[in-house]
Amino acid sequence: MTLDEIKEELNELALAVWPVGSRITCTPAPTDTDADFLVYLKKRGTDISSLGFSLAESGNHYAPEDNIFNSWRRGEVNLIASSDYQFVRRFLAATEIAKRFNLLEKSDRVLLFQAVLYGNCNQTKEMDLLGLNLS
């Protein structure tokens, strides 16, 4: 499915749609992965199951904290859908960095997105384990 087809299908529900994921960030682009799109929704909690998408199970690489986003799947299309402006900005920033540095290893991309989206890295986990969160 093309970006234009996704935009047309989500026209009533989304403010904007961007291609993301390893097909966009990696050179050469992998051919055995889903086509990922970041969807900036007009309204929080929008249900797009009527378009044939299924809500993905939790346990993915971007643990949705406080319902910041949902992942929807239909065939090989994966939509990362959010109405949270900051989440969308951070996701696009992480995508641009991953593309710029051509992060081919999935573990590197996951680490980058965890750091940019949530401030997570090994040192922050250590801080939490030591009880250093004073806020």
CATH no. for residue 14? 3.30.460.10
pLDDT tens-digit readout, 77-102: 999 999 999 999 999 999 999 999 99
User: What DSSP element (H or E) covers 7?
Assistant: helix 3-9
- Residue pair 19/35 in contact (Cβ under 8 Å)? The answer is yes
Torsion of CA 23, 25, 27, 33, to 10 degrees: -30
pLDDT tens-digit readout, 27-70: 999 989 999 999 999 998 899 999 999 998 765 544 445 578 99
134 within some domain: no
Q: Residue 40 corresponds to which tokens in the numbers above?
A: 């900036």
User: What DSSP element (H or E) covers 41?
Assistant: strand 35-41
- Domain span at residue 120 reads 3-129
Q: What is the number of domains present in the chain?
A: 1
Residue 91: CA count within 13 A, CB half-sphere: 25
15 within some domain: yes
